[in-house]
Amino acid sequence: MKEKMKILVALKLIESADELMERAMRVASRYDARIYLLHVLHDMPHLSFYYDVYQLWEEFRDKAMKETLKQMNVYIEKLSKEFKDVEPLVAVGEPYEAILDEAERLNVDLIIIGNQGHTGIAKMLHNNVGEKVINLSSRPVLSFAIGKKE
């Protein structure tokens, strides 16, 4: 029996999440794939002189991960009428690194990521996660422009 295709969808839980998920579900439906839905929380730098602050951050981070996972499950439940094979994942770290690490760990066949499509000064000011994933991934990456008004 052939193993199902695996797709990692890197998703920020924002307004344009629906747009990206609609496109990802169309791709997954076409190839009868399983979707791993990943949301990444930024981590705080480990600085020894901020030990007490970092302990507070760890408590907050753990609560944030649980709450994010709960929100993702609600989101997936909403999607379940259209697409059923979705597994939520929450990671902590630098977003592009977490996406690449999860892609390797899960041995996915495809990464789907949204791209805000910043140009000029906006591109310089924003840390473009999608661009880094595209440039550094050893796996195929499908990038969709999201949130653009035509």
**Which pTM was predicted?**
0.84
Burial of 72 (0-12, 13-18, 19+ CB in 10 A): buried
Could you tell me what percentage of the chain is helix, strand and coil, using 3-state DSSP and rounding each to the nearest 5?
A: 50, 20, 30
So what's the pLDDT on residue 59?
Answer: 86
Domain edges within the chain = 6-145
What class has domain 6-145?
alpha beta
Q: What angle do CA 141, 138, 84 make, to 5 degrees?
A: 45
Distance CA 9, CA 51 (A): 34
Instruction: Evaluate if residue 8 carries a pLDDT over 80.
Output: yes
So what's the pLDDT on residue 129?
Answer: 87
As a whole number, mean pLDDT of residues 131-137 equals: 93
Instruction: Evaluate if residue 26 carries a pLDDT over 50.
Output: yes
One-character DSSP codes across 55-93: HHHHHHHHHHHHHHHHHHHHHHHHHTTT---EEEEEEES
CB 130 within 8 A of CB 94: no
So what's the pLDDT on residue 48?
Answer: 65
Instruction: Evaluate if residue 125 carries a pLDDT over 50.
Output: no
Instruction: Evaluate if residue 46 carries a pLDDT over 80.
Output: no
What band does 128 get if pLDDT is binned at 50, 70 and 90? confident
